[in-house]
Amino acid sequence: MAVVVGSCCFSVLNSTVKFRGSLTSQRLFATPQRSIGSITPKAINHRRGASSPKRGSSSSSSSSSSSSSSNYKSNGEKEAVTQKKIPGRSNDERPCSYADGNSGRGDIKRSQSTSFKLYGTQKKDKKEFLFDMKEQQVEPGNLQDGAFLNAVVKVYCTHTAPDYSLPWQKQRQFTSTGSAFMIGDGKLLTNAHCVEYHTQVKVKRRGDDTKYVAKVLARGVDCDIALLSVESKEFWEGAESLNFGRLPCLQDAVTVVGYPLGGDTISVTKGVVSRIEVTSYAHGSSDLLGIQIDAAINPGNSGGPAFNDQGECIGVAFQVYRSEEAENIGYVIPTTVVSHFLEDYEKNGKYTGFPCLGVLLQKLENPALRACLRVQSNEGVLVRRVEPTSDANNVLKEGDVIVSFDDVRVGCEGTVPFRSNERIAFRYLISQKFAGDVAELGIIRAGKFMKVQAVLNPRVHLVPYHIDGDQPSYLIIAGLVFTPLSEPLIDEECEETIGLKLLAKARYSLARFKGEQIVILSQVLASDVNIGYEDMSNQQVLKFNGSRIKNIHHLAHLIDSCKDKHLVFEFEDNYIAVLEREAATSASSCILKDYGIPSERSSDLLEPYVDLWRDNQAIDQDFGESPVSNLEIGIDGLLWA
Hey, which residues are catalytic here? Answer: 193, 224, 302
What is the distance between the alpha carbons of residues 369 and 380, in angstroms, rounded to a whole number?
11
Q: 348 near 385, Cβ under 8 Å?
A: no
Q: 181 near 188, Cβ under 8 Å?
A: yes
The secondary element (H helix, E strand) that includes residue 50 is helix 48-51
Residue 470, class by beta-carbon neighbours within 10 Å (0-12 exposed, 13-18 middle, 19+ buried)?
Answer: middle
Residue 180, class by beta-carbon neighbours within 10 Å (0-12 exposed, 13-18 middle, 19+ buried)?
Answer: buried
- C-alpha distances (whole Å) from 245 to each of 195, 268, 271, 301 are 25, 19, 17, 20
- Taking the CA atoms of 467, 469, 471 and 472 in sequence, report the sign of the dihedral they define: negative
> Helix, strand, coil % (nearest 5) of the chain?
20, 35, 50
- On the CB side of 39, CA atoms within 13 Å amount to 18
Which parts of 496-636 are beta strand (E)?
A: 519-524, 539-544, 547-548, 566-571, 576-580
Sequence-ordered list of residues with C-beta below 8 angstroms from that of 163, at least 6 positions apart, any chain:
39, 41, 169, 170, 171, 492
What phi and psi values does residue 576 have, to the nearest 5 degrees?
Answer: -125, 140
What is the distance between the alpha carbons of residues 467 and 464, in angstroms, rounded to a whole number?
7
Q: 445 near 488, Cβ under 8 Å?
A: no
Among 382, 354, 356, residue whose Cα is nearest residue 368: 382
